Amino acid sequence: MLDLTAVRSNFPAIADSDYIYGDNAGGSQCLQSVVSRISDYLLHTNVQLGADYSVSVTSTTRVAQGAEAARELFNAASVDEVAYGHSSTMLVENLARALEFDIQPGDEFIVTGEHEANGGPWKKLAARKGLTIKYWHARASPDSENPYAVALHISDLLPLITPNTRIVAFTACSNILGSIVPVKEVVAAIRAKAKEISARKIETCVDCVAYAPHRRIDVQDWDVDYCVFSLYKVYGPHNSVLYARSASLQSLGSIAHHFLKKLDEAFKSIAEHEQSLVKPLLTYLKSKYPRGVRIVGQEDADLSRVPTISFVVVGEQAIASKDVVKFFDQKGNIGIRYGHFYAFTLIDHLQPKLDVDDAVVRISLVHYNTVKEVETIIAILEEVLA
């Protein structure tokens, strides 16, 4: 029997108030013990994690206890299967983006018409990849007199599953209907159907945001792949946690490897393009050596250099760096800068000495700049140095 008086005494917002909080599905009140632990952590152990000194050891342990608490709430096998985030929406969005590189043409997603935290990221992923979204809609039973008395029925889900089904994202409890979905039964039915039709790979993502305050989550018993809920719906701060089973994480590890390989390829392409920006600009600046132009930094164009190019104009016809930039500013539609850029020690160390405040002219390009833009910069420099 729940001791309601004792329960309510743990919530300062309601302990001494007659106010009726009837919007708890949108966010619960916070426990005094939660506020006290957060306050105590920030006031007494808020230091860098992972160090060997005593306060850091305590701080690291307390943070680890948070992950362990989340593991317990999920009944996950390991804390390594748990990730924290600002919101359930953000966590599922990150999950969908992580899985994007394991999605194949023709893959299909099945979602319920519930909270967008679980459905929205899969819809957006489908839109990005040109994939099909199917809806497992709630409906009323044929014998019901009330057309609004709708619920999710497994019999409606199974015909939606095909060999191309990749994700089934559904709610464990509707935040509108309040109805609990038999997650274990649903997942078992999905797996049986997947085996029957030899589906490539079907994973389940379960939204427990509206479920967690009311029922015990058990991801191992349910046999789900991903699960999410919000701590601020279970009397905590505005954070959320995601469960990803270890087997799925191993798959994501291979995805990460694939992604890193793609990143390598992308940055190789970027570097090659940026050389087309570096070479003409450095060549031009070196040609103006008799005019007093001095490149600050490496003068040769190769892959050991990025298109961040600094220079000064010294000698008998010296031009202050700020005046070079002022000329560009007056031209309009182009922006370069001058100064020490917080590398004043480096500037001060250069010989002959430069004015640290005036320092250098810096033209900093990246891969979205074009050779034509470099040509425009060179044309303006020609006017400056005339």
Query: Which sequence spans correspond to the domains of the chain?
Result: 24-244, 266-384
Confidence label for 255 from pLDDT (cuts 50, 70 and 90): very low
For residue 302, with 0-12 CB atoms within 10 Å meaning exposed, 13-18 middle and 19 or more buried, which class applies?
exposed
Half-sphere exposure of 233 (CA within 13 A, CB side): 20
Q: For the chain, what is the mean pLDDT?
A: 87
Q: Which residues contact 75 (CB under 8 A, 6 or more apart)?
A: 216, 217, 218, 219, 220, 221
Percent of the chain past pLDDT 70, that is, above it, reads 94
Report d(CA 76, CA 321) in Å as an integer: 60
What distance in Å separates the CA atoms of residue 324 and residue 346, rounded to the nearest whole number? 21
In contact, 88 and 230? CB cutoff 8 Å: yes
**Residue-level pLDDT at 368:** 60
Task: Check residue 256 and give its pLDDT.
Answer: 47
Q: Do 77 and 227 meet the contact criterion of CB atoms below 8 Å apart?
A: no
Mean pLDDT of 343-358: 84
266-384, what's its fold? Answer: Aspartate Aminotransferase, domain 1 (3.90.1150)
What is the pLDDT averaged over residues 18-33? 81
From 3.40.50.720, 3.40.640.10, 3.30.70.980, 3.40.50.150, which CATH number describes the 24-244 domain?
3.40.640.10
CA dist 231 and 212 (Å) reads: 9
pLDDT tens string 49-104: 888 888 899 999 999 999 999 998 899 999 999 999 889 989 999 999 999 888 99
pLDDT tens, residue by residue, 181-236:
999 999 999 999 999 999 989 999 999 998 888 888 899 999 999 999 999 888 88
